[in-house]
Amino acid sequence: MRALASFSLGMASRKLIKVAAIVAFLYCTLLVYQGGVNYQPRVQVQELTVDSVTKSSVNNSDPINKITLDDLFISVKTTKYYENTRLPIILKTWFQLAKNQTWFFTDRDYQFHQIQTNGHMVNTKCSPTHSRNALCCKMAVEYDRYLESKKKWFCHFDDDNYVNVPRLVEVLQRYDYKKEWYLGRTSVYRPVLIYHKSKRSKKTKVEYSKLKYSFWFGTGGAGVCLSRSLALKMLPFASGGRFISFCDNVRFPDDVSLGYLIENIMKINLTVVPEFHSHLEQMKLLDTDKLKDQVSFGYSLVKDEWNVVNVPGFDTRYDPTRFLSLHCFLFPHFKFCPR
């Protein structure tokens, strides 16, 4: 009996040790994402400000138009389901480079993040689901808020995107905001093809369909930017919530509907920006030496395998998305970066 009791006690002790280890690991992870870990407390390095990063990193040698960070309205579509997972990573990293220019569009009021973003969380009152109507509803609110801002560029990203803010500014300097520009990255290998309904020939008794139209669209998961001129041209179809009705009529998701509107109604072709990337690509194939030249990155978890950028940095247990490591790789002077 004593032996059995000792064995049971030993088993219980090992279980307690395992539980304590798991709790410790989760706590350390939380500290990393919320900024509680200081790797070298004796070293005080001032964090880069928006102005210092932009001025030092952006080449203004011969821009078409003098674009600064303050000319951008950056929107991030998110939901209550990701407010404690995806948002903290963004708020700790690239949001710090564009605090005044970045707005988050969600589906509920959350005071904690409202304080962290200095009031830049917008409750769209849209559904938290990933349905076509919910996505288009949020895009409609993003578009209307952009119009109110009177900024030169409207750039939309998703909450699983990392945005290299200085590089985004640099890329936009290639284009004249006074002209119609639709910038993005395709996620398909051919344009969307829309056909008339199939008809049956009375003579041949063979069904056939006729191509109605085709168009490319920039995937929202890589990022899409619209010039002010193009955004104003879209007013009759997208302003005041009209974009929701437009989506319902064409029956496409938000980014596809946007592409249809711009390419088929506005007659403006998508300009592919190769520096934009989404989780639909293989992130590990991006050249580490050229990461500083890219604008956006993504990540995804499929069947227990992470599709993430290959970058040195934090332990993967603490940083599975690699966004913390990517941020420190691009901007090593931030306080939470290891030295």
What is the band of 207 on the pLDDT scale with cuts at 50, 70, 90?
A: low
Q: What is the pLDDT of residue 99?
A: 98
What is the band of 86 on the pLDDT scale with cuts at 50, 70, 90?
A: very high
Average pLDDT for 51-60: 34
> Rounded to whole angstroms, how far apart are CA atoms 326 and 95?
14
pTM (2 d.p.): 0.79
For residue 76, which phi and psi values (nearest 5 degrees)? -125, 120
pLDDT reading at 24 higher than 90: no
Q: What is the pLDDT of residue 201?
A: 53
pLDDT reading at 282 higher than 80: yes
Span 106-128, pLDDT tens digits: 999 999 999 999 999 999 999 99
Span 168-199, pLDDT tens digits: 999 999 999 999 999 999 988 888 887 766 55
What is the band of 214 on the pLDDT scale with cuts at 50, 70, 90?
A: confident
> Which position among 107, 158, 159, 255 bears the catalytic label?
255
pLDDT reading at 44 higher than 90: no
Q: What is the pLDDT of residue 191?
A: 87
Average pLDDT for 91-115: 97
Q: Where is pLDDT greater, at 28 or 249?
A: 249
pLDDT reading at 1 higher than 60: no
Q: What is the pLDDT of residue 67?
A: 93
Q: What is the pLDDT of residue 292?
A: 97
Strands 270-272 and 182-184: parallel
Closest by CA to 67, choosing from 78, 56, 58, 76, is 58
Instruction: Give the CA count within 13 Å in the CB-facing half-sphere of 296.
Output: 32
Token pair for 306 = 């992470």
Q: What is the pLDDT of residue 339?
A: 78
> Active-site residue 255, yes or no?
yes
Give the distance, in angstroms, between the CA of residue 267 and the centroid of all CA atoms in the same chain: 26
Span 304-318, pLDDT tens digits: 899 999 999 999 999
pLDDT reading at 19 higher than 50: no
* pLDDT above 70 coverage of the chain, percent: 76
Q: What is the pLDDT of residue 74?
A: 98
Quote the mean pLDDT of the chain.
Answer: 83
Return the HEC string of the chain: CHHHHHHHHHHHHHHHHHHHHHHHHHHHHHHHHHCCCCCCCCCCCCCCCHHHHHHHHCCCCCCCCCCCHHHEEEEEECCHHHCCCHHHHHHHCHHHHCCCCEEEEECCCCHHHHHHCCCCEEECCCCCCCCHHHHHHHHHHHHHHHHHHCCCEEEEEECCEEECHHHHHHHHCCCCCCCCCEEECCCCCCCEEEECCCEECCCCCCEECCEEEEECCCCCCCCEEEEHHHHHHCHHHHHHHHHHHHHHHHCCCHHHHHHHHHHHHCCCCEEECCCCCCCCCCHHHCCHHHHHHCCEEECEEECCEEECCCCCCCCCCCCCCCHHHHHHHHCCCCCCCCC
For residue 165, which phi and psi values (nearest 5 degrees)? -55, -50
